[in-house]
Amino acid sequence: MTVRPRSTRAVRRTALTVAAAVAVVGSLAACGGGSGGGATKLDPEAPVTLTWWTGQTQEAHTLLTDLAAEFTKLHPNVTIKAEPGASETAELLQKLSAGFAGGTHPDISYAFGSWASQLEASGKTLDFSEQVKDPAVKWEELPEAARMTAQPTGTKVIAFPALVDNISLIYNKTVFDAAGVGYPTEDWTWDDFRAAAKAMTDESTQTYGYAYSVSGTEETTWQFWPHLWQHGGTILSDDQKKATFADQPGVDALEFLRAMAQDDKSVYLDQTDTKFAELFAADRIGMMTSGPWQLYDLSVAGTDYGVVQLPGVDGNHQTVSGPDLWVGLDHQDANRAHWTFEFLNWLTSPEQDLRWNVAYGNLPLRASEQDSPEFKAQVEALPGLDIMAANSVNATTPRPTVPGYVGLSEAIANAIAEVLQGAADPAEALTAAQEKADQALSAATE
């Protein structure tokens, strides 16, 4: 089994600047172009050509192109033109906006989960709601957060999950052993976590128990959401029009992190989003909360590490996931819509997912794949990958995909960074951030 280096998900999560996101949201909503004139009645035997924007680097794109060729051999009337779509994944949303306006958009495109609401609002997505009710699709086997991301407003299923991940607790055994601290267990509370971080911190050697990003990016934000959720908090109101993270659960969660950073001095505050992983690999940080994209680098560095689910509050070990999507796009053609669904259903089935996500070192889409020889081989190469896969069951709440989330994320990230660096009070900082978040949410829908 080939082990491939993973891209940094921190970069991929922060896919757009606020200005770019607002511009694209507006252009998507205004799209009026189309590619009408297609088949109005389904003929599954009619010749069909689908265009697929994979959004992948060359090696991953080649894997997917081979799978597309296999599908077309099974269905000779179907041609699939697989293209990267853009030089970088983050550019796909703007390319899609231009394609919608001119009627040149693909049938399928890779998309960050954070784009889901914007894409649905374009009016150019297919709706797979009826098809996924078929028990043969096994839709319920897919992680809950991924399924919810694929149906951003709850009215349409616009996509199939393309990739799933989550953050788990990765611990450095060398640092734990040097401090005489017992390794984390799946029953750990955050109080256990705090005590261990404090015990491992040594100013004389510049060793820290934990690390947290204070860059003000989505890396800062998404690390906070499990704390908020485990305390019983929410990011948005039920109608998703107002931010709610400044309520008491949010204040309690941020105060916990502030106490670790300022009172215990046990947290390395990373301005870069990347330095903490390097220090962890060099045995200078005892714990980091991160995902499967870290394991290849740790294996190459020879770091002696372990993985366990996140600590919890009252037995709640909820994590956050950043699922990405294969979005089905509408061309007002019954035949193209039919084969778009059939291809995505085939591509995301366990048999094909083993040859795509698992072969490429990603987490499997479905729990049923975790017992496969293919996945076990990857676990041999990347210890802890199985723990992260099992941790998918704790990803029960999706990150918001509403227009305006980028502005919300920036507001709370800056508040968290200020608090952890001792420059602000948790309650006051979150209240101010919530006001800014509400402004971003309102502006994005005007």
- Does 394 reside within a domain? no
Residue 310 and residue 364 in one domain:
no
Number of domains in the chain: 2
Residue 126 and residue 82 in one domain:
yes
Residue 132, number of CB atoms within 10 A of its CB:
19
Residue 115 and residue 176 in one domain:
no
Residue 298 and residue 420 in one domain:
yes
Residues, the chain, total?
A: 446
Residue-level pLDDT at 136: 96
Residue-level pLDDT at 9: 39
Residue 186 and residue 326 in one domain:
no
Residue 54 and residue 148 in one domain:
yes
Residue 238 and residue 126 in one domain:
no
- Does 392 reside within a domain? no
Residue 155 and residue 64 in one domain:
yes
Domain's final residue, options 351, 385, 419: 385
Residue-level pLDDT at 37: 66
- Does 1 reside within a domain? no
pLDDT in tens, 366-395: 999 999 999 999 999 999 999 999 999 999
Residue-level pLDDT at 139: 97
With a cut of 70, which residues of the chain have pLDDT below it? 1-37
Question: In CATH, what number is assigned to the domain containing residue 56?
Answer: 3.40.190.10
Whole-structure pTM value: 0.89
- Does 395 reside within a domain? no
- Does 397 reside within a domain? no
Residue-level pLDDT at 22: 45
Residue 309 and residue 329 in one domain:
no
Q: Which residues contact 275 (CB under 8 A, 6 or more apart)?
A: none
Residue 221 belongs to what domain range?
A: 168-320+403-444
- Does 2 reside within a domain? no
Residue 435 and residue 336 in one domain:
no
Residue-level pLDDT at 17: 42
- Does 308 reside within a domain? yes
Residue 156 and residue 178 in one domain:
no
Residue 244 and residue 177 in one domain:
yes
- Does 393 reside within a domain? no
